[in-house]
Structure 1
């Protein structure tokens, strides 16, 4: 796929990252980074932590440069709370609070060996479907294999300097939120929910220092207990010469170890993150709002990385919230949050990529799991048409190209992409019956008939999934099995004339476009106007009344799927029977 030359936000960041990488290490591989904590379902807010550097890395690859996207799995973080609403998890998991995520049992019935691997697997599968190439690094593996041993010892030797840096921020607090804003936040409707990456890059709520006994001083390291496996430990002594570290645990266990040989612990987060920047040579890494406020880990890390570890802070933006319509704001350690895998059940990868590519990282946006998904798909299809006919704007073309593929090539796409709202309506009416679905879809456009359902996949499957999982039972469409004879018998002359005109025109208008023309033309003809007459307020009222009549006679409600789609789905014979022919 050709490199994008458009000056969209991705290209501008790619320019900056390449220039910064050349300044630091000319000719070397460019390193960008993400971090995810698998403390629970990794949600769509967290996905921005990965998609932002992915898009920048992909642009760099398109330019022929070597780039490495490091994805740190923060699976050595402590298990802080038992998420709600996770299948196979109950209150008994509370006994594991304080252990590393990789030492916590996976939810009951899981195929994975521990908690972290269970939630990493779902995210890994979603990223593969999205075409995201990354180099995954388990922080459990890094720490327990001794990869960071020298970095840990170095941090301990320089713990006084680290403490002095952190002390500048410990008493600083951000400005209080105005009461009006607090009230507005409390009253915010749940259908405008926001998902920030509260745990997108490490443990945002972790303290900046390990627990120590009186007189020991600051220690930027937290051992996990050798008896209970938890981090409920207090360092009671440390000797720089011998590296002997003594600790006690809330469980009663006491132990003295040599830190030069001990690998069952980790640096506290505000020291761990800058250590990794230096260790990996990270040039670009975005951060969520939780890491970007005054005194937060990203800012403090920038003060630690150079003086302590001899590295440099990455460049990278703060990224904004991702909204999910119909769901309350949640962190990934709570249940019930929509994940990338959930989104990919109801939308194609291209659409999900586009939602992240078209907005600058500091712009919030929403991902729809309700009826709004149909409008999003309409917008996406309109962009496809504009790109094909050459009328799309440069920035829109750039976002489109980043959505449909990567430097490695295009993602698999639906061969015959029919409108999502049409597919959803057909799925609603047919309840997924494939033979009936094919009959309806093949009649949508007689000049370009659908040969098989595979031509409409995977978009068709996504629309079926959306209809079956996100449309309430009371909103599903059920076509009448028998005509409403009482209603038909009581119709006035005008309504009878309207139904007669509709039925007479079915044969000659039996396609999606044809039926659209017909249902709007009937009220005009009934009023003595030409089919192409411009609508007036009175005519619009007549059309609405006619549409309500059709819905009531066909599905027993005053609303339903778009009438042309509904008529095609019901079929000519049944339409004639239900409308009294």
Structure 2
């Protein structure tokens, strides 16, 4: 893929961050790959809000690759985090999983029926598949593997030697509370939960009755982190702990012991230094004053001799018709859920077009049709050169990466049209092909493959997101009672429609016809501009057609509905 036009730099957030990250990397580590990072805790379903943690550095890393620089996007799988609570609404999981609270995510059984060996692998696998579909290139790092292999041994010992210094840094913030701005509206329930912290962000900082220790062992008997370090010797590295869960106590040599981890507020800055991270975003729960990102900046500098990454805060991602997402609540949509109803470029575009600190919503309701209309219009503007530079940049980042273009639908028919057809045909391929070919008789489809994968996404949206009572059911027999009750004007409007069917049998033609009949009935030309009175007459006519065809006064766009029903059946149902 080509480099995104530099003319967009002033308005394109990705280009601005890429400039900053490249310059900072050259100052810190000249000649080495640029390192950007994400951290994902597979503590439950990894939802579309979590995806922003990945997409923000991905888009910046991809721009850096387009400019010819070597870059590594690290995704740190925080699978050595403790299992904090049983998430609601997860299939195959019940309250018996509460017995595993306090164990590493890699030691918790996967949900019943899962093909994966443990909890973390189960939830990682779903996101890994989605990232491949989204074209996200990354290096995955399992924190379970890192810690249990002793990869951070020197950093752990160093942190323990400097525990008093770390404690002093943390102590500056322990009594501070962030005042809520007077203009700030009260947080709703989901926002409050997210603000309290997600995953490791909510963990204790290492303070205990025996003093401060930045390392937390997992118990050798019950495998839980409900442990308290009671003694530590810097010279011998002897560490003694007791477990409040099972009562087990033991003394180990920390220079050999691999069953534990640094507490979160020390672990995160340690990894910044260890990996040489230049850019890593963080959510609002990590970014407020006194939180892990701010404290981490001091710890990485004063304890580990590293530098804090460039770290924009990213805002919430919501779902149309739902509260803001929190992964501890059940039923929150995942990237895999979104990719079942929308193509990967559209989902990428939603993250690319908004600055990280701007919240946005992802549509699972009727709004997805408008969203697709907006996407298709942008594509047309990009093609004819009329799009704004920032919009071109976002579109370019959506449709491909530095490695190449993402798969696209060869003939991207309007999503709302495909959804209407899928609604009426219930996924019957032969009927679908007939209807879609009639949209443009001069250029008919030869195969449904021409409109895939968009057709598949629209069909899944209809079947999974539209309730049964809202589905379109075409009448089996004409409504003779309604037809016989019509006055002469009503019967005449139906005659004019039926007389024009054959000569207008295409999507554009039927659009002209259904809007034109009320105009002609009012003594106007078929192409007359609508007036308020005419709009009322058109709505009345449309409601009549819907009642005669599908028993309701609303439904799919009438031209699409007429094509789907077919001319012969339309004539029967309209009394022709």
Same topology, TM > 0.5: yes
CA distance in 2, matches of 1:128, 1:10: 21
Residues 461-492 of structure 1, C-alpha deviation per residue, up to 9 Å, x if partnerless? Answer: 00000000000111000000000011111110
Q: Find the counterpart in structure 1 of residue 476 from structure 2.
A: 481
Q: Find the counterpart in structure 1 of residue 451 from structure 2.
A: 456
Q: Does the CA-based 8 Å contact 2:197-2:286 persist in structure 1?
A: no
Q: Does the CA-based 8 Å contact 2:317-2:324 persist in structure 1?
A: no
Q: Does the CA-based 8 Å contact 1:199-1:332 persist in structure 2?
A: no
In the TM superposition, 1:398-409 aligns within 5 A as: 398-409=393-404
RMSD: 1.5
In the TM superposition, 1:413-562 aligns within 5 A as: 413-562=408-557
Q: Find the counterpart in structure 2 of residue 579 from structure 1.
A: 574
Q: Does the CA-based 8 Å contact 2:316-2:324 persist in structure 1?
A: no
CA distance in 2, matches of 1:20, 1:252: 49
- Given the superposition, is the C-alpha separation of residues 295 and 55 from structure 1 closer, same or farther in structure 2, using an over 3 Å criterion? same
Kindly state the Cα deviation for residue 197 of structure 1 after the two structures are TM-superposed.
9.4
Q: Find the counterpart in structure 2 of residue 204 from structure 1.
A: 201
Kindly tell me the number of residue pairs found equivalent between the two proteins: 571
- Given the superposition, is the C-alpha separation of residues 194 and 364 from structure 1 closer, same or farther in structure 2, using an over 3 Å criterion? farther
Residues 258-279 of structure 1, C-alpha deviation per residue, up to 9 Å, x if partnerless? Answer: 0000000000000000000000
- Given the superposition, is the C-alpha separation of residues 195 and 563 from structure 1 closer, same or farther in structure 2, using an over 3 Å criterion? farther
CA distance in 1, matches of 2:290, 2:542: 60
CA distance in 1, matches of 2:66, 2:564: 45
Kindly state the Cα deviation for residue 64 of structure 1 after the two structures are TM-superposed.
0.5
Q: Does the CA-based 8 Å contact 1:106-1:113 persist in structure 2?
A: yes
CA distance in 2, matches of 1:525, 1:128: 54
- Given the superposition, is the C-alpha separation of residues 382 and 78 from structure 1 closer, same or farther in structure 2, using an over 3 Å criterion? same
The secondary structure found in structure 1 opposite 2:83 is coil
CA distance in 2, matches of 1:235, 1:423: 62
CA distance in 1, matches of 2:443, 2:533: 37
Q: Find the counterpart in structure 2 of residue 4 from structure 1.
A: 4
Q: Does the CA-based 8 Å contact 1:199-1:331 persist in structure 2?
A: no
Kindly state the Cα deviation for residue 26 of structure 1 after the two structures are TM-superposed.
1.1
Residues 103-152 of structure 1, C-alpha deviation per residue, up to 9 Å, x if partnerless? Answer: 00000000000000000000000000000000000000000000001100
Residues 413-433 of structure 1, C-alpha deviation per residue, up to 9 Å, x if partnerless? Answer: 000110000000000000111
Q: Find the counterpart in structure 2 of residue 238 from structure 1.
A: 232
Kindly state the Cα deviation for residue 177 of structure 1 after the two structures are TM-superposed.
6.2
Counterpart of 2:166 (choices 157, 162, 173) is 162
Q: Does the CA-based 8 Å contact 2:217-2:259 persist in structure 1?
A: yes
Q: Does the CA-based 8 Å contact 2:38-2:281 persist in structure 1?
A: yes
Counterpart of 1:388 (choices 380, 383, 404) is 383
CA distance in 2, matches of 1:81, 1:296: 22
The secondary structure found in structure 2 opposite 1:170 is coil
Kindly state the Cα deviation for residue 329 of structure 1 after the two structures are TM-superposed.
3.2
- Given the superposition, is the C-alpha separation of residues 408 and 180 from structure 1 closer, same or farther in structure 2, using an over 3 Å criterion? closer
CA distance in 2, matches of 1:199, 1:147: 27
Counterpart of 2:30 (choices 26, 34, 46) is 26
Counterpart of 2:222 (choices 212, 218, 228) is 228
- Given the superposition, is the C-alpha separation of residues 198 and 377 from structure 1 closer, same or farther in structure 2, using an over 3 Å criterion? farther
In the TM superposition, 1:300-449 aligns within 5 A as: 300-449=295-444
In the TM superposition, 1:75-224 aligns within 5 A as: 75-176=79-180, 181-182=185-186, 185=188, 203-209=200-206, 212-213=208-209, 216-224=210-218
Q: Does the CA-based 8 Å contact 2:49-2:325 persist in structure 1?
A: no
Task: Give the TM-score normalised by structure 1.
Answer: 0.96
Q: Does 1:48 align with 2:52?
A: yes
The secondary structure found in structure 2 opposite 1:51 is helix
Q: Does 1:66 align with 2:61?
A: no
CA distance in 1, matches of 2:544, 2:277: 64
The secondary structure found in structure 2 opposite 1:412 is coil
The secondary structure found in structure 2 opposite 1:241 is coil
Kindly state the Cα deviation for residue 330 of structure 1 after the two structures are TM-superposed.
3.8
Q: Does the CA-based 8 Å contact 1:429-1:479 persist in structure 2?
A: yes
CA distance in 1, matches of 2:222, 2:403: 47
Kindly state the Cα deviation for residue 228 of structure 1 after the two structures are TM-superposed.
0.3
CA distance in 2, matches of 1:457, 1:199: 41
Provide structure 1 residue ranges, at least 5 long, that are not aligned to the other structure.
Answer: none
Q: Does the CA-based 8 Å contact 2:229-2:241 persist in structure 1?
A: yes
Residues 548-570 of structure 1, C-alpha deviation per residue, up to 9 Å, x if partnerless? Answer: 00000000000000000000000
CA distance in 2, matches of 1:509, 1:148: 72
Residues 490-535 of structure 1, C-alpha deviation per residue, up to 9 Å, x if partnerless? Answer: 1100011100000000001101111001000000111111001111
Kindly state the Cα deviation for residue 236 of structure 1 after the two structures are TM-superposed.
1.0
Q: Does the CA-based 8 Å contact 2:35-2:278 persist in structure 1?
A: yes
Residues 435-457 of structure 1, C-alpha deviation per residue, up to 9 Å, x if partnerless? Answer: 00000001111222111101100
The secondary structure found in structure 2 opposite 1:86 is coil
Task: Give the TM-score normalised by structure 2.
Answer: 0.97
CA distance in 1, matches of 2:84, 2:311: 28
Residues 395-414 of structure 1, C-alpha deviation per residue, up to 9 Å, x if partnerless? Answer: 11000000000000000100
Kindly state the Cα deviation for residue 179 of structure 1 after the two structures are TM-superposed.
10
CA distance in 1, matches of 2:247, 2:165: 32
CA distance in 1, matches of 2:354, 2:195: 17
Residues 65-105 of structure 1, C-alpha deviation per residue, up to 9 Å, x if partnerless? Answer: 00000000000000000011100000100000000000000
Kindly state the Cα deviation for residue 331 of structure 1 after the two structures are TM-superposed.
2.0
The secondary structure found in structure 1 opposite 2:19 is helix
Q: Does the CA-based 8 Å contact 1:195-1:321 persist in structure 2?
A: no
- Given the superposition, is the C-alpha separation of residues 386 and 493 from structure 1 closer, same or farther in structure 2, using an over 3 Å criterion? same
Q: Does the CA-based 8 Å contact 1:196-1:288 persist in structure 2?
A: no
